[in-house]
């Protein structure tokens, strides 16, 4: 709340500026937009004797079952045995996470005031839309926010008790439970997240009147995108402040990993959930929803035949429903195989069953894609071959969901030659060569990832030329959207392997913080109450080794999400181009058939505004990278300063709860301040560039997608290589406390904001900018040109205020003394 109060001085002029904008604008809108789209009657087409509406109603039942599946797993995990010492630590982590999330939710609602003001201005004032529709849009945006925040809360809650259950299970001296519990937690999150998202979208499709569905989808997508952006940015900053603050103590005081005397460890555990659980859950929810909204908009804009529209819409959503079943079924089968293979084993490769799960789900999804498509659309628009061509396009994305993780493991796995090279370089060259070799791995990974994406998108383009042009305009754009759709096809499993990491990371911390080995008569107590004799050495080894697998699979999920954002953004950008083409066609009285041709010359480097937009997008990506890293480095400085001044290594077993909470407060404050500046910088930049020139804005959107793709992949994989190089030294080489370990800790702390702050937040930022840009550019093209340019200048100045604040308002000022209870004094 202190952070929110500190920003009130900025909120008042911002809202006043939006009110002034409403007074400046005048005139009606002539062009159709996404808000005008009307859904066709989904029951008008039959699929194997079942009408489309009935099929989708059955889909709601499947979603309900998927939701129940997730809740049942939640209940099962909650009832697993756990020692009180570990349970107390996990509940403390939960309480600090809860406090952080409540603060975040309040802050998101403040940002919703800004976004809501623009939506009311655009839909209510400019478009003259009836008040009921405007209210529906606003309510839908709140539902989107509630969805993102709700699944984030659920993910945080299950992970913060699965961690102690996994730590306790390791005491039995077998590796399998330390693998099975984190994956079960991940599948619970994945099933609940995807089922909830899909159910909400189906309810809009089926129960909202057709002329309200378009505005409802837009509001919903903007709301979930806002929630995901804020949670991803703030969570990424929070977690890396805490992680760096905690890790550097290992070097400064030569203490062990997760030393209970270190007051930064609880904050680090909170950050593991804020950044690696809350953020990805909200991000996955938003990614799944926005991709669906983009495809719906495309179909209604680009497909003239209403019967084909219905067939494609129902087919897409049935495919999503089927893939939920494929993911759950594959998980159950894979777990049976894993238990048979490793249930009683004393050693296991933790990555092996996770890899098998990803590939199994991919193959099952591909098989079902062709089978269901053959059943549903054997004759699409008079063409009896399109069912397998469309299935092949989706398959490009589905296979990408398995191929990309394999590519990423080449650069981030503990078995990777690149990771081992980081260790080798560190042994001889210390931290300098550690950092350089990690940068090399990141750059090299971006090259290969780029080639993989080009190959898969190129194949989809090839199939799109085989008859789709007879059904729609810009068929290649639809193909790229389906690739993004395929990326997310096995959504529950993708979310599960991503969520695996924060549980394994926290499990190791919970073990150390619980001081379980120091509990009086612990062996006798465990034998009496739980029926087994603990093996502490094996438990610690398995937890550390499994944390390496968690690091690897956290790394593999990031490029899937960023790839989806970039590939899917092409579909959203197409929607903006259609709006612009309609505007140009109306202005020069062209026929609808010539409307896209009319703007092609303006979507070229030969059109200077478009070229300048391409250049500007790159500038924004590099500002965003620097600003998010600045927030981490300054916050980490304050955290380290506080921890060094307050850590007690003599006469105590663990840090005081008060000191631990102060570190959490430091992380929260800098996360909020960083997110506030970054988000409003993005918000006003979007408005400024949309008002400046529409084709400049198109170039800008394309540029941030491409620059963001490669920047994110490079940073995520460099960070993953540094992270697991440290893990290799700790687990395989067992050289903690050595100069080699110190060098890898330095590399890991450099990689922390790379992999978990800047890179991961590219995904929601790209989608929010593109989605919000739909409204912004429509607003800009319909107002007087002079007014538009003036507004562009005003918004650009406002964006520069927050760009300036993101660096110079967040900088480290040496010699400052802390004056607040948290040990942090606001410098902005």
pLDDT category at 555 given cuts 50, 70, 90 is confident
Among 16-30, 499-513, 781-795, the minimum mean pLDDT is found in: 16-30
Query: pLDDT tens across 656-680, in order?
Result: 889 998 999 999 999 989 999 999 9
**pLDDT of res. 826:** 38
Q: How far apart are CA 539 and CA 170, in angstroms?
A: 5
**pLDDT of res. 36:** 66
Residue 686: which of 697, 674, 678 has the closest Cα? 697
What is the three-class DSSP state of 699? helix
Helices and strands per DSSP (H, E), number in the chain: 24, 2
Cα atoms found within 13 Å of the Cα of residue 242, Cβ hemisphere only: 35
What is the three-class DSSP state of 46? strand
Helix 491-514 with 264-273: angle, nearest 10 deg: 170
What is the three-class DSSP state of 651? coil
Q: How far apart are CA 265 and CA 247, in angstroms?
A: 9
Q: Please determine, for residue 598, whether its predicted confidence score (pLDDT) is greater than 70.
A: no
Determine the average pLDDT of the residues in 120-138.
83
**pLDDT of res. 250:** 79
**pLDDT of res. 6:** 43
Residue 147: which of 79, 249, 63, 253 has the closest Cα? 63
What is the three-class DSSP state of 753? helix
Query: Could you tell me the two tokens for 51?
Result: 């009408």
Q: How far apart are CA 316 and CA 541, in angstroms?
A: 45
Q: How far apart are CA 804 and CA 798, in angstroms?
A: 10
**pLDDT of res. 817:** 47
pLDDT > 90: percent of the chain = 56
Determine the average pLDDT of the residues in 693-701.
91
Distance of CA 170 to the CA centre of its chain: 30
End-to-end CA distance of the chain: 16
Residue 663: which of 248, 90, 253, 156 has the closest Cα? 248
Query: pLDDT tens across 469-516, in order?
Result: 899 988 888 998 898 888 877 889 989 998 998 899 899 999 999 999
Determine the average pLDDT of the residues in 551-558.
83
Q: How far apart are CA 421 and CA 666, in angstroms?
A: 36
Q: How far apart are CA 81 and CA 542, in angstroms?
A: 19
Q: Please determine, for residue 630, whether its predicted confidence score (pLDDT) is greater than 80.
A: yes
pLDDT category at 591 given cuts 50, 70, 90 is low
pLDDT > 70: percent of the chain = 92
Q: Which residues contact 679 (CB under 8 A, 6 or more apart)?
A: 111, 229, 230, 233
**pLDDT of res. 754:** 93
Q: How far apart are CA 136 and CA 116, in angstroms?
A: 12
DSSP 163-197: HHHHHHHGGGS-SHHHHHHHHHHHHHHHHHHHHHH
The per-residue pLDDT of the chain, averaged, comes to: 87
**pLDDT of res. 29:** 34
In this structure, what are the phi and psi dihedrals at residue 554, rounded to the nearest 5 degrees? -60, -40
Contact 499, 277 (CB under 8 A): yes
Query: pLDDT tens across 304-316, in order?
Result: 899 999 999 999 9
Q: Please determine, for residue 84, whether its predicted confidence score (pLDDT) is greater than 80.
A: yes
Higher pLDDT, 630 or 776: 630
Q: Please determine, for residue 448, whether its predicted confidence score (pLDDT) is greater than 70.
A: yes
Task: Give the Å distances, CA to CA, from 531 to 20, 37, 294, 310, 527.
Answer: 71, 63, 55, 59, 5
What is the three-class DSSP state of 50? strand
Determine the average pLDDT of the residues in 62-73.
96
**pLDDT of res. 818:** 43
**pLDDT of res. 16:** 38
**pLDDT of res. 588:** 52
Determine the average pLDDT of the residues in 809-821.
59
DSSP 382-393: TBSSHHHHHHHH
CA angle 127, 129, 135 (to 5 degrees): 125
Query: Could you tell me the two tokens for 152?
Result: 């984030």
Q: How far apart are CA 276 and CA 273, in angstroms?
A: 5
Q: How far apart are CA 385 and CA 374, in angstroms?
A: 9
Q: How far apart are CA 267 and CA 274, in angstroms?
A: 10
Determine the average pLDDT of the residues in 369-385.
94
**pLDDT of res. 823:** 41
**pLDDT of res. 114:** 83
Higher pLDDT, 254 or 542: 542
**pLDDT of res. 188:** 96
Beta bridge partners of 192: none
Q: Which residues contact 531 (CB under 8 A, 6 or more apart)?
A: none
Query: Could you tell me the two tokens for 345?
Result: 């084993």
Q: Please determine, for residue 74, whether its predicted confidence score (pLDDT) is greater than 60.
A: yes
Q: How far apart are CA 687 and CA 775, in angstroms?
A: 9
Q: How far apart are CA 501 and CA 354, in angstroms?
A: 12
DSSP 261-307: T-THHHHHHHHHHIIIIIHHHHHHHHHHHHHHHHHHHHHHHH---HH
Residue 580: which of 61, 588, 495, 491 has the closest Cα? 588
Q: Please determine, for residue 8, whether its predicted confidence score (pLDDT) is greater than 60.
A: no
Determine the average pLDDT of the residues in 406-420.
92
What is the three-class DSSP state of 814? coil
Q: How far apart are CA 574 and CA 59, in angstroms?
A: 29
**pLDDT of res. 11:** 45
Cα atoms found within 13 Å of the Cα of residue 480, Cβ hemisphere only: 23
Contact 373, 315 (CB under 8 A): yes
- How many CB atoms within 10 Å of residue 454? 11
- How many CB atoms within 10 Å of residue 324? 24
Query: Could you tell me the two tokens for 276?
Result: 């690696």
Q: Please determine, for residue 24, whether its predicted confidence score (pLDDT) is greater than 50.
A: no
Q: Please determine, for residue 805, whether its predicted confidence score (pLDDT) is greater than 70.
A: yes
Residue 83: which of 503, 499, 513, 504 has the closest Cα? 513
Contact 229, 768 (CB under 8 A): yes
Q: Please determine, for residue 123, whether its predicted confidence score (pLDDT) is greater than 90.
A: no
Q: How far apart are CA 508 and CA 269, in angstroms?
A: 10
Task: Give the Å distances, CA to CA, from 727 to 146, 240, 422, 720, 748.
Answer: 37, 17, 12, 11, 10
Determine the average pLDDT of the residues in 776-793.
84
Higher pLDDT, 19 or 265: 265
In sign, the C-alpha dihedral spanning 781, 785, 789, 794 is: negative
DSSP 419-460: HHHHHHHHHHHHHHHHHHHHHHHHHHHHHHHHHHHHHHHHHH
Q: How far apart are CA 445 and CA 417, in angstroms?
A: 13
Cβ neighbourhood burial of 736 (10 Å; 0-12, 13-18, 19+): middle
Q: How far apart are CA 708 and CA 624, in angstroms?
A: 10
Q: How far apart are CA 231 and CA 757, in angstroms?
A: 11
**pLDDT of res. 64:** 96
Q: How far apart are CA 337 and CA 319, in angstroms?
A: 27
Higher pLDDT, 523 or 4: 523
């Amino acid at each position: 709340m202190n952070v929110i109060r500190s920003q009130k001085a900025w909120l008042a002029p911002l809202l006043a500026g939006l009110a002034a904008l409403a007074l400046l604008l005048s005139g009606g809108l002539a062009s159709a937009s996404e808000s005008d789209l009307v859904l066709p009657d989904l029951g008008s087409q039959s699929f194997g004797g079942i009408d489309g509406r009935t099929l989708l109603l059955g889909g709601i039942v499947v979603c309900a079952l998927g939701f129940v599946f997730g809740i049942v797993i939640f209940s099962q995990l909650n009832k697993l045995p756990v020692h009180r010492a570990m349970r107390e630590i996990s509940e403390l982590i939960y309480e600090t996470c809860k406090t952080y999330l409540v603060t975040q939710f309040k802050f998101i609602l403040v940002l919703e005031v800004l976004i809501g003001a623009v939506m009311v201005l655009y839909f209510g004032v400019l478009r003259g839309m009836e008040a009921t529709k405007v209210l529906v849009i606003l309510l839908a945006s709140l539902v989107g926010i509630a969805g993102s925040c709700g699944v984030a809360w659920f993910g945080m809650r299950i992970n913060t008790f699965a961690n102690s259950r996994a730590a306790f299970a390791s005491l039995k001296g077998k590796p399998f439970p330390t693998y099975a519990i984190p994956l079960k937690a991940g599948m619970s999150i994945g099933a609940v997240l995807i089922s909830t998202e899909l159910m909400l979208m189906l309810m809009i499709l089926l129960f909202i009147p057709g002329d309200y569905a378009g505005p409802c989808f837009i509001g919903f997508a903007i709301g979930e995108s806002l929630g995901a952006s804020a949670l991803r940015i703030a969570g990424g900053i929070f977690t890396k402040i805490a992680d760096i603050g905690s890790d550097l103590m290992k070097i400064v005081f030569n203490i062990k990993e997760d030393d209970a005397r270190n007051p930064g460890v609880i904050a680090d555990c909170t950050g593991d959930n804020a950044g690696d659980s809350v953020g990805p859950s909200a991000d996955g929810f938003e990614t799944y929803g926005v991709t669906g909204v983009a495809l719906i908009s495309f179909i209604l804009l680009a497909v003239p035949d209403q019967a084909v529209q219905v067939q494609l819409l129902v087919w897409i959503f049935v495919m999503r429903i089927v893939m939920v079943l494929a993911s759950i079924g594959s998980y159950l089968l894979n777990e049976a195989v894993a238990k048979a293979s490793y249930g009683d084993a004393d050693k296991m490769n933790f990555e092996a069953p996770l890899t098998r799960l990803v590939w199994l789900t991919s193959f099952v999804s591909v098989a079902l894609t062709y089978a269901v498509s053959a059943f549903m659309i054997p004759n699409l628009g008079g063409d009896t071959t399109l069912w397998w061509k469309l299935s092949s396009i989706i398959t490009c994305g589905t296979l990408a969901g398995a191929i990309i993780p394999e590519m990423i493991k080449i650069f981030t796995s503990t078995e990777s030659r690149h990771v081992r090279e980081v260790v080798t370089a560190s042994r001889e060259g210390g931290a300098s060569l550690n950092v350089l070799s990690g940068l090399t791995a990141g750059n090299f990974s971006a090259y290969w990832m780029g080639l993989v994406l080009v190959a898969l998108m190129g194949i989809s383009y090839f199939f799109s030329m085989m008859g789709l042009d007879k059904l729609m305009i810009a068929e290649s754009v639809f193909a790229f959207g389906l690739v993004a759709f395929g990326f997310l096809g096995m959504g529950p499993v993708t979310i599960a392997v991503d969520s695996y990491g924060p549980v394994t990371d926290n499990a190791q911390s919970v073990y150390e913080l619980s001081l379980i080995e120091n509990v009086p008569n612990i062996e006798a107590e465990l034998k009496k109450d739980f029926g087994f004799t603990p093996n502490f050495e094996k438990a610690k080894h398995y937890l550390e080794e499994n944390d390496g697998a968690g690091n690897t699979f956290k790394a593999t999920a990031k490029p899937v999400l960023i790839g989806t954002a970039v590939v899917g953004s092409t579909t959203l950008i197409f929607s903006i181009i259609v709006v612009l083409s309609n505007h140009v066609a109306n202005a020069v009285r062209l026929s609808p058939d010539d409307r896209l041709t009319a703007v092609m010359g303006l979507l070229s480097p030969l059109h200077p505004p478009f070229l300048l937009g391409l250049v500007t997008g790159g500038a924004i990506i590099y500002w965003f990278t620097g600003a998010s890293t600045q927030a981490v480095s300054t916050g980490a400085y304050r955290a380290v300063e506080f921890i060094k001044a307050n850590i007690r290594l003599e006469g105590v077993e663990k840090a005081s709860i008060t000191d631990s909470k102060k570190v959490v407060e430091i992380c929260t404050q800098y996360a909020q301040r960083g997110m506030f500046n970054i988000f409003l910088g993005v918000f006003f930049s979007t408005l400024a560039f949309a008002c400046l020139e529409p084709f400049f804005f198109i170039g800008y959107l394309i540029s941030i997608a491409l620059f963001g793709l490669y920047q994110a992949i490079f940073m995520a994989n460099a960070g993953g290589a540094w992270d697991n190089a440290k893990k290799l030294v700790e687990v395989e080489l067992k050289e903690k406390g050595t100069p080699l370990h110190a060098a890898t800790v330095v590399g890991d702390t450099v990689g922390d904001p790379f992999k978990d702050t800047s890179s991961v937040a590219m995904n929601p930022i790209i989608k929010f900018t593109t989605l919000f840009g739909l409204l912004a550019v429509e607003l800009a093209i319909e107002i007087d040109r002079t007014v538009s340019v003036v507004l562009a200048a005003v918004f650009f100045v406002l964006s520069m205020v927050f760009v300036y604040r993101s660096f110079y308002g967040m900088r480290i000022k040496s010699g400052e003394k802390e004056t607040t209870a948290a040990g942090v004094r606001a410098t902005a």
